[in-house]
Amino acid sequence: MAGKEGSGMVVRYAGRLGVVASVALNLAALALYIRRRFFGGSGSGDGGGGREIATVEPSKGKPLVTPDSVVNLDHGDPTMYEAFWRETGDRATIVIPGCQTMSYFSDVGGFCWFLEPGFEREVRRLHRLVGNAVVDGYHVLVGTGSTQLFQAALYALSPATDGAPMSVVSPAPYYSSYPAVTNFLNSGLYRWAGDANTFDGDTCIELVCSPNNPDGGIRKAVIESKSGKAIHDFAYYWPQYTPITEAAGHDIMLFTVSKCTGHAGTRLGWALVKDREVAQKMIKFIELNTIGVSKDSQLRAAKILGAVCDGYETSLDGEASRLFHFARQQMMERWSKLRAAVAASDIFTLPNELSNYCTFVKETITTNPPFAWLRCEKEGVKDLEGFLREHKIITRGGTKFGVDGRFVRVSMLDTDEAFNVFMDRLASLK
Ligand code: PMP
């Protein structure tokens, strides 16, 4: 009996071994096929014609933060979303074979010749999902970050006459890049004219940033009636930062993957533009500036935006695949820690917390601005940026945003390590 059972087991075992071996062989053959098909190697694995696949490691980015190191929260570098994307695996991965994306052109004969149709499709799909902007009747344009689109919009809105440069304004505190980028090339077409609240000229371009960088305020144009020319910067009009209250429908609206999904390194932004002529001028600017926009980046961004939409529309993973829910949870946790630390300190204050009904999550939620706009109430501290630097915290001072040096802007989007060191240091300041 035992012998019979034993020999039966051997037969079954041998049978299983056969199945395992055949599956393994099939997998090896598949790997070889993929390697030859997409990477062109012979696959022999030795010096006789076999080629190693050269991999290029991405850079590590920023130095690691330790409890003693300087913590740099000057830039809004959105690395906090890495934890979400680490879990998505292949759903947000693309492979681009060497023979693809070689042409300059993406859509010859289309409205914007350098716009990848797949990217445009995912942009429209994402806005329909979130409900934060109207897309029907709008031209979609792509740029190397929304920073390039901002410059394209300034060019498109400035009259090409020999007159004085067009004034560019925004209410203080305004995003510190606006004056820097506007004046960088000393253009004869437009010039930075400061705080929109005190502007008294006849015509201007107003930059409306909402939620506002640096203070998180929800904004509407303040001088629309005078100029009629506004650029709406909606880098942060996403549900992790603010309740979505309406599908915005302004003339020029700028968005960026940097702050939406956290992929700042992909350097991709998009604009929704109502007027055909304005859109054509913006396209001309990008054509002369960089001869279009990286197709590789557009394909990657399309995959990423598609993964965000799939996470809500088709994924079975529940909360784990919902970017905005994950990101909002992270932001809420950080803001509750920060508010508790500031309340416990005698020397700092923050803008009041705002809340509203969000049409996307379908409940009343608070805002979680991407930056903390910190004010120091301590006697004698007029340069808060310098004061925090002495404590090895790098921030951006109020003067760069058109207000006084008692304010600083602190990024809320950095790694957990950097944020936690910031919290510990803040609690120790008296
Ligand atoms: N607008 C605002 C308000 C921003 O804060 C930023 C990034 N800090 C940008 C635009 C630029 O974004 P991008 O990375 O797409 O150039």
Alpha carbons 420 and 337: distance in angstroms, whole number: 9
Half-sphere exposure of 375 (CA within 13 A, CB side): 9
Alpha carbons 154 and 188: distance in angstroms, whole number: 12
CATH of the domain spanning 97-313: 3.40.640.10
Matching residue, tokens 């709406």: 232
State the pLDDT at residue 13.
40
pLDDT digits (tens, 9 = 90+) for 60-118: 788 889 988 999 999 999 999 999 999 998 999 999 999 999 999 999 999 999 999 99
Considering only CA atoms, which residue is closest to atom 7 of ligand 1? 76
Phi then psi for residue 368, to 5 deg, are -130, 80
H-only helix segments in 42-101: 82-86
Average pLDDT over residues 281-302: 98
Ligand 1 proximal residues by C-beta, below 6 Å: 76, 145-147, 175, 209, 213, 233, 235, 256, 258, 264, 269
Choosing from 123, 178, 208, 213 the residue with most ligand 1 atoms within 8 A of its CB, the one to mutate for a pocket test is 213
pLDDT confidence of 4, banded at 50, 70, 90?
Answer: very low
Q: Look at residue 55 and give its three-state secondary structure.
A: coil
Residues of the chain with CATH 3.90.1150.10: 71-87+320-427
Considering only CA atoms, which residue is closest to atom 13 of ligand 1? 145
Choosing from 170, 177, 304, 413 the residue with most ligand 1 atoms within 8 A of its CB, the one to mutate for a pocket test is 177
pLDDT digits (tens, 9 = 90+) for 37-59: 444 443 333 333 456 677 888 88
Q: Which atom of ligand 1 is nearest to the CA of 212?
A: 3
CATH topology of domain 71-87+320-427: Aspartate Aminotransferase, domain 1 (3.90.1150)
In the chain, the percentage of residues whose pLDDT exceeds 70 is: 87
How far, in Å, from the CA of 405 to the mean position of ligand 1?
Answer: 23
Instruction: Please name every residue paired with 230 in a beta bridge, in sequence order, or none if there are none.
Output: 206
State the pLDDT at residue 226.
55
How far, in Å, from the CA of 362 to the mean position of ligand 1?
Answer: 27
Average pLDDT over residues 176-181: 98
* Chain mean pLDDT for the chain: 89
Pairing of strands 204-209, 166-170: parallel
Residues of the chain with CATH 3.40.640.10: 97-313
Considering only CA atoms, which residue is closest to atom 5 of ligand 1? 213
Q: Is the dihedral of CA 313, 315, 317, 321 positive or negative?
A: negative
State the pLDDT at residue 324.
98
How far, in Å, from the CA of 181 to the mean position of ligand 1?
Answer: 12
How far, in Å, from the CA of 99 to the mean position of ligand 1?
Answer: 32
